[in-house]
């Protein structure tokens, strides 16, 4: 899944108000491609080179495009769930175009809307619901007359239920090691191998990706500092 392919899918999704058919593994393949790009970055001897910068910029562009695609499709799915809960007409073919994780979201949101409508609009008896995470395990929730109590859930029972969809497989996250340094002189902004933009001024004490710090140290722009230790 290259950037051009992902961008094309995003543009098509933007241009229509309906949910489009996409490959079920599109997000998995995008994560895998990002991991491959980062491996190439780490293999470059000079992480501040134009080649490394271009790869990092492509990685950032792919992440932003993937997030925007998710946001656009999620808004469409939420609108479909609302129409379903309200009993209004909606295109069933759009539901068929959802990938598995999206279909799970649609089902849970629609069910939640219908349950809330029953309680608030039709005065239905409120079902027992799990204790919210903010409530400590074992804490009793008092029941006022006419209101339903929360059902106490033991701490051991926390976590996704058996009907929860399994998480999508994803490429391993690659995190570069970091180094604490003191900056010896001002320098222009640059992009680190971790995808972040760094603007360094003389006297700054910062943590930088180890590969970037090593290159800057060789050029007498920064000096490595010992990391503080706990006593």
* Phi and psi torsions of 171, nearest 5°: -70, 150
Assess contact for 213 and 179: CB atoms under 8 A.
Answer: yes
Assess contact for 95 and 106: CB atoms under 8 A.
Answer: yes
Q: Do domains 3-133+152-157 and 178-224 have the same CATH topology?
A: no
Q: Which helix (H) or strand (E) segment is 197 a member of?
A: strand 197-198
Whole-number Å distance between alpha carbons of 38 and 40: 5
Q: Average pLDDT of 46-68?
A: 88
The CATH number assigned to the domain with range 178-224 reads: 3.40.5.50
For the cut 50, the answer to whether the pLDDT of residue 183 exceeds it is yes
User: Residue 66 — very low, low, confident or very high, per pLDDT cuts 50/70/90?
Assistant: very high
- What is the structure's pLDDT at 229? 59
**Among candidates 158, 189, 195, which has minimal Cα distance to 64?**
195
Q: What is the dihedral of CA 89, 91, 97, 101, to 10 degrees?
A: 0
Which of 47-56, 62-71, 107-116, 153-162 has the least mean pLDDT?
Answer: 153-162
Q: Average pLDDT of 32-43?
A: 89
Assess contact for 41 and 47: CB atoms under 8 A.
Answer: yes
CATH class belonging to 3-133+152-157: mainly alpha
User: Residue 161 — very low, low, confident or very high, per pLDDT cuts 50/70/90?
Assistant: very low
- What is the structure's pLDDT at 76? 94
- Cα–Cα distances (Å) from 124 to 9, 34, 86, 149, 152, in that order, read 43, 49, 16, 15, 21
Whole-number Å distance between alpha carbons of 151 and 131: 6
For the cut 90, the answer to whether the pLDDT of residue 57 exceeds it is no
- Domain ranges for the chain, please list them: 3-133+152-157, 178-224
- What is the structure's pLDDT at 179? 87
User: Residue 38 — very low, low, confident or very high, per pLDDT cuts 50/70/90?
Assistant: confident
With b for 16 or more beta-carbon neighbours within 10 A and e for fewer, the 64-76 pattern comes to ebbeebeeebeeb
User: Residue 139 — very low, low, confident or very high, per pLDDT cuts 50/70/90?
Assistant: very low
Which residue has better confidence, 153 or 224?
A: 224
- What is the structure's pLDDT at 231? 53
pLDDT one-digit tens code per residue, 81-92? 999 888 888 888
* pTM for this predicted structure: 0.64
Q: Average pLDDT of 84-109?
A: 91
For the cut 50, the answer to whether the pLDDT of residue 14 exceeds it is yes
């Amino acid at each position: 899944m290259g950037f051009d392919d992902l961008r094309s899918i995003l543009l098509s999704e933007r241009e229509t108000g309906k949910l489009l058919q996409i490959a079920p593994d599109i997000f998995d393949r995008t994560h895998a491609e990002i991991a491959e790009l980062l491996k190439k970055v780490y293999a470059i001897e000079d992480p501040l080179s134009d080649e490394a910068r271009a790869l990092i910029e492509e990685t950032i562009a792919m992440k932003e495009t993937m997030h925007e695609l998710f946001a656009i499709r999620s808004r469409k799915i939420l609108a479909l769930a609302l129409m379903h809960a309200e009993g209004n007409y909606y295109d069933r073919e759009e539901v068929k175009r959802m990938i598995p994780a999206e279909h799970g979201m649609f089902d849970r949101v629609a069910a939640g809307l219908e349950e809330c409508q029953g309680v608030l609009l039709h005065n239905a008896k409120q079902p027992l619901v799990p204790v919210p995470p903010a409530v400590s395990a074992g804490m009793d929730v008092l029941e006022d007359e006419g209101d339903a109590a929360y059902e106490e859930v033991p701490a051991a029972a926390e976590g996704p239920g058996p009907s929860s969809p399994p998480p999508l497989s994803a490429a391993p996250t690659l995190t570069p090691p970091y180094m604490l340094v003191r900056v010896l002189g001002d320098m222009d902004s640059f992009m680190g191998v971790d995808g972040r933009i760094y603007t360094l001024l003389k006297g700054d004490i910062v943590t930088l990706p180890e590969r970037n710090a090593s290159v800057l140290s060789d050029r007498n722009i920064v000096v490595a500092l010992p990391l503080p230790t706990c006593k």
